[in-house]
Amino acid sequence: MFADREDAGRQLAAKLVRFKDKDPVVLALPRGGVPIGLEVAAALDAPMDLVLVRKIGTPGQPELAVGAVVDGDKPELVINEEVKGLAHVTGEYITQQKALQLEEIERRRKLWLGDRPRVALKGRTALVVDDGIATGATVRAALHAVRRAGPARLVLGVPVAPPDTIASLRDDADEIVCLATPDIFWALSMFYSSFPQLDDNDVSALMERTAAGHAAAGAP
């Protein structure tokens, strides 16, 4: 369906370019969402920032998320109350894990962004982008955190996601732009001809390109 993330980003940008005069800010979810965000930001002449989300796994089952924490001036904690109850997860455990994940978020922000300040979102059009969505838990946490920052409009943009996942996120954003919603969805990689894993150096390099490109365009 997509040659690579850059191709998907350009296709998504074509659908989001109508927000170009709406004071947009592009917010990418690392790592895979960063190449997508780069294309969207370039097309809209918009600044780009990252939304850093870390999952909180249940004790003994780290892949089963009981919640997620999102960076920001006031970090957002999103809890799956159903999983918390079924797995008998204590509040003390969640508090400890939140602190650990916030430390990792801070490490990654410094690594990927250095000392660059967060882009202000209040009153602007926030475009949250990723390379695709499976269950939607991470994206939902990101949307909750971005919403609290006070954007005038919150838009989620992704190349591909299952239809039931998109339906479940409808109340979390003002608008969702998804290029494809296939019924058969085994893995995100099945929709990309080239889908390499990105490492920290890749993300850092892409963010440098974003900052340089926006500066060259004359942005403050």
pLDDT tens for each residue of 39-67: 999 999 999 999 999 989 999 888 788 88
| Local confidence band at 191 (pLDDT 50, 70, 90 cut-offs) | very high
Contacts of residue 29, defined as CB under 8 A and 6 or more positions apart, other chains included, come to 50, 51, 53, 128, 129, 130, 138, 139, 142
Rounded Cα–Cα distance for residues 203 and 220 (Å): 23
pLDDT tens for each residue of 77-113: 888 888 899 999 999 999 999 999 999 999 999 999 9
| Local confidence band at 212 (pLDDT 50, 70, 90 cut-offs) | low
Domains defined for the chain, CATH in brackets: 5-51+114-216 (3.40.50.2020), 54-113 (3.30.1310)
Q: What is the pLDDT of residue 7?
A: 98
